[in-house]
A = this chain, B = another copy of it.
Amino acid sequence: MGAVAPGIGPTPVDAQSVETQSQEMDDYSSPELVAYGKRSPYVTSMRQPVNGRPSPDEFGLVFHIGTPLQDQVGAITPSALHYFGTTRGSFVPHIDPAEHRLMIHGMVDRELIFTMDELKRFPSVTRLHFIECAGNRSNSRHRTIIESHGMTSCAEWTGVLLRTLLEEAGVQDGGEWIIAEGLEEVKGTSSLPTAKAMDDIIVAYAMNGEPLRPQQGFPLRIVVPGFEGILSVKWLRRIKVVDRFYMTYNDYGHLRQDPSDAALSYQIGPKSVITSPSGGQELPGQGFYEVRGLAWSGGGRVSRVEVSTDGGRSWFDADLRGTPQPMAHTAFSFNWTWDGSETVLLSRCIDEIGQIQPTREEVAEFWGRPGVRGQDNSIQPWRVERDGSVHNAIV
């Protein structure tokens, strides 16, 4: 078989030429580095603030730190790079897990309180799920992917199904909603349908094989698969079963109160984005490129991703990495040879319930205006110019 990627240009060489490479050694014998590794000083991929604005009641600052998706490979977001959103700037509760408690009360047969040790003894699940802020893609003017899509991340979450705990407590008739409350000053409270709680919400104490990071809710949070990120309450301390939708601080954006309707409006639509090449990157020249990206949907598994390298005139199936998991990032790739001319790269996600990621025009028609704030799951176009520079094609 011949060369698959002739445009990349590895160089035939004198067989001795790698002998001269440095053999300088770093000493990792310090107790800290034996106990817990660190990344190379040459690796500088980092999150960055992508959104800061006063909260609706001016109580605090809505603050978002985005994941550097341009550097992402695979489905898993490293915990240290997981996106982070709060309504109180960069402050997070300092919680001693030995002192932490979760209470379940309200319309239940038995009001219960759990220590962390007790929670960890319950039957557990480990599942890959994305969490995405509804404000991701909040307008169209973003220059780079960390600005446009950085508020979505994906981790392997471990914890107890909320259903398991609610069955311990015994939900009473009429307990159609739950209020989940966190420990930050604004409580992070959200209203969620009990039907969702009895389905797949995880009371999670670990991510990616280790305890939650403080910025992701240490020691306890809920993960609400497929729903807007604000509902995945961090620093969880209380779940109250109630008979109605509560208009809580975090519910300001969710005005629909019918459980089925509200549940649907909470759900993230089918979505995808090409992470490489993406805005701000430079292609070094014509030739072979593996177009890489991520797809996800609140509706279930990603079943197919299509890529266009000619602005939407033709579409081809991308390769999916691994086994797509429900409500999880799925990495995709597509082999492309760039001829050096200007073009636009697109991707679209199709999920297992048949939802197709819409175009920007379709979203605009549905909502009556382009670039709606929140839940804009339209196709992201990246324009490649003749000089190899890549730009957001939304003008």
**Which residues in A have some Cβ–Cβ distance to B below 8 Å?**
1-5, 8-13, 15, 17-18, 21-29, 33-40, 42-43, 45-49, 65, 71-82, 84, 88-103, 105, 110-114, 117-118, 121-128, 156, 158, 164, 167-168, 183-185, 206, 208-216, 218-219, 237-238, 284, 288-290, 292, 321-323, 325, 331, 333, 335
Contact = CB atoms under 8 A, between A and B. Distances in A.
Nearest to A155: B76
Contact of A164 (B4, B42, B284): B4
B208 A168 contact: no
A212 B74 CA distance: 13
A126 B320 CA distance: 10
Contacts of A125: 321
Most B CB contacts (10 A, CB to CB) among A123, A127, A288 go to A123
6 contacts: A10-B114, A21-B101, A25-B88, A37-B47, A37-B80, A39-B218
Nearest to A127: B322
Contacts of A25: 88, 91-94, 184-185
Given A34-B48, A158-B73, A15 B325 contact: no
A112 B13 contact: yes
Contact of A82 (B37, B164, B216): B37
B5 A39 contact: no
Closest 4 interchain pairs by CB? A35-B46, A29-B90, A74-B126, A13-B113
Given A37-B80, A124-B73, A28 B92 contact: yes
A98 B42 CA distance: 9
B93 A26 contact: yes
Given A29-B90, A90-B34, A121-B5, A209 B325 contact: no
Contacts of A92: 25-26, 28
Contacts of A97: 40, 42
Given A47-B35, A114-B10, A17 B210 contact: no
A183 B21 contact: yes
A85 to B, nearest CB: 12
A17 B113 contact: yes
Contacts of A2: 167
B213 A74 contact: no
A267 to B, nearest CB: 23
A78 B5 CA distance: 33
B37 A84 contact: yes
Nearest to A82: B37
Nearest to A334: B123
Contact of A39 (B27, B33, B84, B210): B210
Nearest to A45: B210
Given A3-B168, A21-B101, A333 B27 contact: no
Given A4-B168, A23-B185, 12 more contacts: A1-B167, A13-B111, A18-B238, A22-B96, A25-B185, A35-B46, A42-B219, A74-B156, A75-B156, A75-B209, A126-B322, A127-B322
Given A15-B111, A42-B97, A183 B23 contact: yes
B37 A213 contact: yes
A388 to B, nearest CB: 13
Contacts of A215: 28, 33, 37
Given A74-B206, A210-B81, A94 B17 contact: no
Contacts of A216: 37
A34 B22 contact: no
A269 B210 CA distance: 27
